[in-house]
Amino acid sequence: MSSAAQTIKERLGIAEVVGAYIKIEKTGANYKARCPFHNEKTPSFFISPARNNYYCFGCGAKGDIFTFVEEFEKIDFLGALKILAEKAGVELAQFQHDRSKESEFDKFRSILETATVFYEEQLHGNSSAKFALDYLLERGLTDETIKTWRIGLASNEWRNLGDYLRSKNISNVEMEKVGLIKQTGTSVYDRFRERIMFPLFDSSGRVVGYSGRYIKFPKAKMPSSSNSSSASSNSTSSGSASSTSAEQSTDESKEPPKYLNSPDGPLFNKSEILYGYHKAKEGIRKFGYAVLVEGQFDMLMCHQAGFNNTVATSGTSLTALHLEKIKRLTDNTMIVYDADKAGLKASLRAWELALSLGMDVKIASLPKGEDPASLILEDKEKFKNCLKNAKHIIDFYLDILDGEGKTGRELWKAVEVEVLPYVLAIESSIDRAHFINRISMRTDIQEADLRAELERLMIKNRSLNSGGSGNTGVGNGDGGASGTGKGAVHNETVSDHSIIKGIDDLSDSDKKTLDRLIGLILWLRDSANESKAEEVLKRSGTFLDEISKKYFDERISSSPTELSFEAEVLFAGSTKLDHDIEELLLEIEERSLKQTLSVLMNNLNKMEKLQKKDEAMEILKECQNVSLKLSEVQRKKKLYG
């Protein structure tokens, strides 16, 4: 297995793997992105192709291609190995056809894969299923689309799939866990019957659930496929081979729902899954925005027509989890479903959250009575124009208010209730000011009144959300003083270092600067620049005070990866590396001399109080020597600044 993992690592770069999941940007020799493992607005997630690993300065997440896939997909190493092996074209023969080596999640995925193949065969390998294929073709789907998206058919038999899976030694318990069967008392039957089956995929393209669209079967009973018929004859182990007529009549008397989705389970979460996301990722990155539609046919027709940055929700309104997945790839979202007030209100909280996350939300209006699928079937250029003419959600709402013809107090109230919550949610104060001006111009409400109302809403929201105790006072302490540029060094009073006992007496700022030096040395060693690393190490040994030296030795001996990674981000690709190194060394030397001088001055005061003139004179000479060195270092710093 280790040789397979090594081969995969040789074929796949870290940027290629991570870039398939989230949007990454080139920065020098590395890449950066917003971390997918914690919520952040400013990118602190760095990817190093040279090291073939990643590190997040925000949450500390780090690792290689296997670790990333494990954490992102929430799977074990073996699962990550299989995904990456497929991507790299590496065969893992030792894991094929041996369910004993599979994790529970792997078994569930294997069951769903078997079920998907079964549903596909029911659609394509059964002459009695022609009516279902005809229906899909009438809706505008091509044979290629049907096969690419693995669309299948669930027959009107009560135990067709269950019997087949039991013949493959899959238990009722396993089938029920992944939502393929239902059990009521001693009766066991297929969850999906008389339905076009749309497999739902995770971000890696593996089946995790289904959305079944009801389709009325012809009167004549549909024969089972060759696979399922043979399985039916051997299904006595199901414990429910015969169904009572009462059970059937009771179920069949109910009006079947148009769509039936898999229940939430170990692999499927309807609040997180976006239909088509696994194929839309590349398109979203390419076009710079995601198109959101409501149904399976809408999404499929969009992809078929070349709009391959389209995704759809399945059985739920848009959620925060959906938005998080989209935001990994883009900040721009376009809604093309139920583009009216009623449809938008269902996802009001989601759009407010999207705006607060800094996302740009636009609405593409369709002609009355049309949906994306029907409009594309009629003329895809018309659909394309709808996307081109999409409007920001606030402009869209203002258009609706214009159409409703509201005036006076009624208009003011509508703006307050239906428009201002979106303005309030916008992250950018500049964008907020832009839309306040736009609303004022279109409604004749004074900007000052709009701002006053926004302030009232802000206060109201703060009051509603003030369940906590407020600011805990936890911060970075040094206001970002760890940098090596101008202004990085604070003026520290003598009292700051009047008593020196140990490492804990070093300020956070001192520790951060020493960490930067340690990271530099480790990075130089990793970069096969051993001579330079030793030169910096030797130089630092000439000026580090005793306490700083102790901290330095303890930290560098543990070789913390994050420090080396930070140094790579700061120094890799620099055209003036020697200059940057010298600037850092001078800063640390200055800090060390200041600390030494502070201790000497404290001791001098003590000797003078004790009237020990000789000792005081010796310390004074030391103070003068250190002061001269400090002046020289500060002079050099100015030259490098």
Q: Tell me: the pLDDT tens digits for 333-370?
A: 998 865 555 556 666 677 888 888 888 999 998 888 88
Does the pLDDT value for residue 460 go beyond 70? yes
Contact indicator for 373, 297 with CB cutoff of 8 Å:
yes
Residue type for position 569: V
Does the pLDDT value for residue 491 go beyond 50? no
Q: Report how far residue 149's alpha carbon sits from residue 339's, in angstroms, rounded to the nearest whole number.
A: 26
Q: Report how far residue 309's alpha carbon sits from residue 292's, in angstroms, rounded to the nearest whole number.
A: 9
Q: Tell me: the pLDDT tens digits for 516-571?
A: 888 888 888 877 788 888 888 888 888 887 778 888 888 888 766 777 777 776 67
Q: What are phi and psi of 540, to 5 degrees?
A: -65, -30
| HEC sequence for 359-387 | CEEEECCCCCCCCHHHHHHHCHHHHHHHH
Q: Tell me: the pLDDT tens digits for 308-317?
A: 999 998 877 7
For residue 385, what pLDDT band results from cuts at 50, 70 and 90?
A: very high
- Tokens 């004022």 correspond to 440
Burial class (CB in 10 A: 0-12, 13-18, 19+), 68: buried
Residue 559: the pLDDT is: 67
Does the pLDDT value for residue 500 go beyond 50? no
> Domain locations in the chain?
2-95, 103-220+254-261, 286-463, 494-640
For residue 394, what pLDDT band results from cuts at 50, 70 and 90?
A: very high
More confident residue, 581 or 211: 211
Tell me the mean pLDDT in the region 416-432: 87
Residue 512: the pLDDT is: 75
Contact indicator for 275, 314 with CB cutoff of 8 Å:
yes
Residue 151: the pLDDT is: 98
Q: Report how far residue 73's alpha carbon sits from residue 87's, in angstroms, rounded to the nearest whole number.
A: 15
CATH class of 286-463: alpha beta
CA neighbours closer than 13 Å in the CB half-sphere of residue 274: 26
The two tokens of residue 577 are 């590396």
Mean pLDDT of the chain: 81
Contact indicator for 339, 390 with CB cutoff of 8 Å:
no
CB atoms within 10 A of CB 457: 15
DSSP state of 419: I
Residue 291: the pLDDT is: 96
Does the pLDDT value for residue 470 go beyond 50? no
In CATH, which superfamily holds the domain spanning 2-95? Zinc finger, CHC2-typedomain (3.90.580.10)
Residue 263: the pLDDT is: 94
Degrees, nearest 5: CA angle 458-292-326: 65
Does the pLDDT value for residue 168 go beyond 90? yes
Among residues 251, 271, 253, the alpha carbon closest in space to that of 261 is found at 271
376-390, 472-486, 548-562: which range is least confident on average? Answer: 472-486
For residue 166, what pLDDT band results from cuts at 50, 70 and 90?
A: very high
Q: Tell me: the pLDDT tens digits for 212-249?
A: 999 999 876 555 544 444 444 444 444 444 444 444 44
- For 35, 38, 54, 241, the CA distances from 42, given in Å and listed in that order, are 9, 11, 16, 59
For residue 641, what pLDDT band results from cuts at 50, 70 and 90?
A: low
Q: Select, from the ranges 26-30, 123-127, 197-201, 561-565, the one with the highest average predicted confidence (pLDDT).
A: 197-201
Q: Quick one: CA torsion of 365, 369, 374, 378, rounded to 10 degrees? A: -90
Q: Which residues share a beta bridge with 212?
A: 197, 260
Kindly give the pairing relationship between strand 332-335 and strand 360-363: parallel
Q: Tell me: the pLDDT tens digits for 46-55?
A: 998 888 889 8
Strand runs labelled E in 294-426: 310-313, 332-335, 360-363, 391-392
Q: What are phi and psi of 331, to 5 degrees?
A: -100, 0
Q: Report how far residue 502's alpha carbon sits from residue 489's, in angstroms, rounded to the nearest whole number.
A: 21
Q: Report how far residue 450's alpha carbon sits from residue 534's, in angstroms, rounded to the nearest whole number.
A: 63
CB atoms within 10 A of CB 363: 25
405 SS3 class: coil
Q: Tell me: the pLDDT tens digits for 596-617?
A: 888 888 888 888 888 888 888 8
Q: Report how far residue 100's alpha carbon sits from residue 78's, in angstroms, rounded to the nearest whole number.
A: 13
Contact indicator for 623, 604 with CB cutoff of 8 Å:
yes
For residue 467, what pLDDT band results from cuts at 50, 70 and 90?
A: low
The size of the chain, in residues, is: 641
* CATH pick for 103-220+254-261 out of 3.90.980.10, 1.20.20.10, 3.30.465.10, 3.40.640.10: 3.90.980.10
Does the pLDDT value for residue 472 go beyond 50? no
Q: Select, from the ranges 468-472, 512-516, 530-534, the one with the highest average predicted confidence (pLDDT).
A: 530-534
Degrees, nearest 5: CA angle 459-465-470: 90
Q: Tell me: the pLDDT tens digits for 88-146?
A: 888 776 545 444 545 788 899 999 999 999 999 999 988 889 999 999 999 999 999 99
Degrees, nearest 5: CA angle 203-206-208: 95
With DSSP H G I counted as helix, E B as strand and the rest as coil, what are the percentages for the chain, rounded to 5? 55, 10, 35
Q: Tell me: the pLDDT tens digits for 622-631?
A: 888 888 888 8
- Tokens 């006053």 correspond to 452
Residue 254: the pLDDT is: 67
Contact indicator for 190, 180 with CB cutoff of 8 Å:
yes
Tell me the mean pLDDT in the region 19-29: 87
End-to-end CA distance of the chain: 52
DSSP state of 186: T
Burial class (CB in 10 A: 0-12, 13-18, 19+), 379: exposed
Q: Report how far residue 108's alpha carbon sits from residue 174's, in angstroms, rounded to the nearest whole number.
A: 7
Residue type for position 443: T
Q: Report how far residue 178's alpha carbon sits from residue 113's, in angstroms, rounded to the nearest whole number.
A: 11
Q: Report how far residue 563's alpha carbon sits from residue 560's, in angstroms, rounded to the nearest whole number.
A: 6
Q: Is the entire prediction scored with pTM above 0.85?
A: no
CB atoms within 10 A of CB 539: 15
Residue 119: the pLDDT is: 97
Contact indicator for 131, 122 with CB cutoff of 8 Å:
no
Residue type for position 115: A
The two tokens of residue 581 are 């190194």
Contact indicator for 266, 107 with CB cutoff of 8 Å:
no
Long-range contacts for 85-89 (Cβ within 8 Å, ≥24 apart)? 85/4, 85/8, 87/12, 87/17, 87/20, 88/7, 88/8, 88/11, 88/12, 89/11
Q: Tell me: the pLDDT tens digits for 288-340?
A: 899 999 889 999 999 999 999 999 988 777 888 898 889 888 889 998 865 55
DSSP state of 61: -
Kindly give the pairing relationship between strand 195-201 and strand 152-154: antiparallel
Residue type for position 86: E
Q: Report how far residue 638's alpha carbon sits from residue 451's, in angstroms, rounded to the nearest whole number.
A: 47
